[in-house]
Amino acid sequence: MTTYYTDQHEWIRVEGDEGTVGITSHATEQLGDVVFVDTPSIGKHLKKGDEAAVVESVKAASEVYAPVGGEVTAANEELSGEPAKVNADPEGDGWFFKIKIADQGELGQLMTAEKYQEFVKG
């Protein structure tokens, strides 16, 4: 299991040909208290960089982009009733959706945890 990061502050945790996607702790700190999450529908096909979900906080609304292309296999339905899970555990129970990865090669364009930490520090 490996986790990769995007410059838009999404993470994807990869197991085999499936990835679980969410937003990073850094993103939740920037957003503040999350009050609404709209996850993609199961079966939706996404290209890398497509708008996949929406997260709204007391400060702003923001899109969540697909870090890789593929088909959505699951959505975290709990977030519609408990959007605060995103703040409480952004890289755990606050995940947004799962995706069957179409092209594993796209993962090579993402950042490792170390590179992401450097990116956030600027």
pLDDT of residue 9: 97
pLDDT of residue 62: 94
Give me the residues paired with residue 53 across strands. 64
pLDDT tens sequence across 27-75: 999 999 999 999 999 999 999 999 999 999 999 999 999 999 999 999 9
pLDDT of residue 48: 97
pLDDT of residue 22: 98
Read off the pLDDT of each residue in 84-93 and give the average, rounded to a whole number.
Answer: 96
35 vs 6: CA distance, rounded Å: 23
Go through the domains of the chain in sequence order and give each one's CATH number. 2-121 (2.40.50.100)
Q: What percent of the chain has pLDDT over 70?
A: 100
Per the structure block, which two tokens stand in for 46?
A: 């996404």
Q: Is the pTM of this model over 0.75?
A: yes
Give me the residues paired with residue 71 across strands. 45, 100
Read off the pLDDT of each residue in 99-120 and give the average, rounded to a whole number.
Answer: 97
pLDDT above 90 for 122: no
Which of 100, 102, 103 lies closest to 18, judged by CA?
Answer: 100
Which of 112, 117, 116 lies closest to 13, judged by CA?
Answer: 112
